Amino acid sequence: MNSPKANLEEPRLVLRRVVIENLAPEIDGGKYPIKRTVGEQVVVEADIHADGHDLLGAVILYRPERESAWLEAVMLPLVNDRWQGQFFVETLGSYSYTVQAWVDGFQSWSRDTVKKFEAGQDISVAAVMGARLIQSAADRAQGSDSQRLAQFAAELKSLSRAGEAAAKLARNAELAALMRRYIDRGRATTYDRQLSVTVDREKARYSTWYEMFPRSCAVGRNQHGTFRDCIQRLQYVAQMGFDVLYFPPIHPIGRIHRKGKNNAAQPSPDDLGSPWAIGAKEGGHMAIHPALGTIEELKQLQTKAGELGIDIALDLAFQCSPDHPYVKEHREWFLERPDGSVQYAENPPKKYEDIYPFYFESEYAAELCDELRRVVFYWIEQGVRIFRVDNPHTKPFDFWEWLIKEVQRKHPDAIFLSEAFTRPKVMQRLAKLGFTQSYTYFAWKNAKWELTQYFTELTQTPVREYMRPNVWPNTPDILTEYLQYGGRPAFMARLVLAATLSANYGIYGPAFELCENRALRQGSEEYLDSEKYQLRAWDIDSPESLKGLISRVNQIRREHRALQSDWSLRFHRLDNDQLIAYSKATDDLSDIILVIANLDSQNKQSGWVEIPLADFQLAPDQSYQVHDLLTEARYLWHGAWNYVELNPAVLPAHIFKVRRRVRTERDFDYFL
């Protein structure tokens, strides 16, 4: 019996000489995308090398998700076989990118031919080899380019005995440009992964948030606020310079196990409960609390806000009160305890009897996820595009990755803010899998070394590729000791730090601008008479309000591009640890902002700050001006080291515009 004849040929070995490795940015081997906003640049680097001494060529290949054709951006060598290139992302959605590199036979021939000629060696054979390379490119080219390359090939072949003329042709710029256009990439190496960029709208990179409870917006004391009252409050928010107005949950509030004032377990009949205890007989996550108004009135509010440049952001809290319709209709979505009761939320020793968490490990989890997706799309249909997500770290990562992809596939302008004050790796995972912005530890970072170390990590390490910080000095849950005991200067300092360290920041007001610092008890970060459990009547016209300072700080942010992104943040030496100094600048240095803040809310502090003259392109022997944008004061500084002094009772910070000296044709100096 004859053996069956092999009908499969062995795959032909293709030797690709170029190696591409250590590509950056790349998150977890390409599993997760990096983040950019429309118009931003993606800088790509990679180690690219090959055997031998031939010269190489390399490009970034990139394309929007909906396009099939690749675009190219040239990469150039840096040092030690490290290459770099860049491209811009121009549309919302997703981009793919990778790197391709090849041995550049023509460049190698040109370099070696010139070297041989300069060394007095015969280059006749080299000229013939060069002519072959050029003719090969002519065969690949079309039209006039093909004709021109053929002319070059013929000319070089005819000059094979004329060394000087052949060497001159090897240096010809026109020939080099044509050869780059029609390079032979038949044995090019393409990086083994296609990486992704998620491209968001500008507000993902630069936004200014104001959190407000709609139910506390009524003019009259002890009256429940409405969306109509919120419309009257819009001008106040806009005048302070905020472009995102965020509401805690606006849904019906449960009555079973409702919490009373100051989180009391036994409420009085008129207690309103926590907005985060979502759901009652009036409805659940797709319903509005009747006392706030109707969906039509919410849309009127959105329209009025839009006219003022403000987006309305809603809270996405995936949890239920005991009397939420889901509890009755879909008990399988909750964890049942051995005694037959539903497991309520706990963070021992804290108990939240008024909240039932969803149970994502049940056999009905898929139906639960579909329903929660329906909730998000319902609010998107009502015009909402920004969601602050409550406690995302208590739900499965896979759920959020799936949900956010589902939303952004249809609505790439949607923004999700992760409210996860938890372990660093958990916060980072949520950012990787799709959350647009992330809360941070800023509220608890008070010392100079803490702020420097933390914000350097956020802006100068690979974390910055996927995690966009949104910093808040206070929230309805967080009244730090620094604010409790630091008084008005502490609020001013934290405002300036938040607004200038990060391009995205927010405050919970009116508590912040009115310097509300009364804690529930010593050692607690809960507010006394917390707005989470009762109405608060805020005197927004109080002469003690910080709204004037807030307005000015936010105006500075709008007028200075340096403060509208984070990656240029650099900290500077200052010989007093109670003072902190840092700067942000645009790439072209047309806008340089220098911030110096007093971290001591009780005492005047002074010191000497070192200005990085070379980084700011300042001559060591020339003076320059620092213009305080908060007070309009101007100072003439000289050299690297200059004196500063800040009294927190007056103003605990400088926000300086660094102005370089410019001399006109008539020898008239001014500061730019």
Coil/strand/helix, residue 525 = coil
Residue 307 known to be catalytic? no
Strand pairing partners for 209? Answer: 244, 506
In sequence order, what are the beta bridge partners of 637? 624
CA atoms of 410 and 405, how far apart (whole Å)? 9
Angle value at C-alpha 287, between 283 and 288, nearest 5 degrees: 115
Counting Cβ atoms within 10 Å, is residue 123 exposed (0-12), middle (13-18) or buried (19+)?
Answer: buried
Which helix or strand (DSSP H or E) is residue 84 part of? strand 82-88
- One-letter amino acid at 410 equals K
Task: Say which of 26, 112, 354, 390 is annotated catalytic.
Answer: 390
Interaxial angle between packed helices 397-410 and 424-433, expressed in degrees from 0 to 180 and rounded to the nearest 10: 30
Q: How many CB atoms lie within 10 A of CB 620?
A: 9
- Let me know: does 50 contact 136? Beta carbons within 8 Å: no
List of residues 6+ apart from 168 with CB closer than 8 A? none
Helices (H), 502-652: 547-559
Can you point out the beta strands (E) in 104-229?
A: 189-190, 195-200, 207-211
Whole-angstrom Cα distance, residue 38 to residue 254? Answer: 42
Closest CA to 106 of 155, 169, 16: 169
Task: For tokens 């690749």, name the residue.
Answer: 70
Helix, strand, coil percentages (3-state) for the chain, rounded to 5, are 30, 25, 45
The four Cα atoms 540, 544, 546, 551 give a dihedral, to 10 degrees, of 70
Is-contact 575 608, C-beta < 8 A? yes
Contact 589, 617 (CB under 8 A): yes
Q: Are 196 and 95 in contact (CB under 8 A)?
A: yes
- 390 annotated active-site: yes
Residue 662 burial (CB count, 10 A): 10
Alpha-carbon distance values, 481 to 113, 175, 330, 486 (Å)? 73, 70, 42, 8
516: tokens are: 């509300």
Q: Which value, to the nearest 10 degrees, does the dihedral of the CA atoms of residues 606, 612, 613, 615 take? A: -150
Beta bridge partners of 211: 246, 508
- List 85's β-bridge partners, or say none: 44
Hunting for tokens 């607690």 — which residue is that?
524
- Measured CA to CA, the distance from residue 443 to residue 454 in angstroms comes to 12
Residues 359 and 383: their CA atoms lie apart, in Å, by 29
Q: Return d(Cα 157, Cα 123) in angstroms, integer.
A: 11
- Which of these is catalytic: 26, 229, 243, 419? 419
Q: In what order do the strands lie in the sheet with 386-390?
A: 437-438, 415-419, 386-390, 311-316, 244-247, 207-211, 504-508
Beta bridge partners, 352, equal 345
Q: Which residues are marked as active site? A: 390, 419
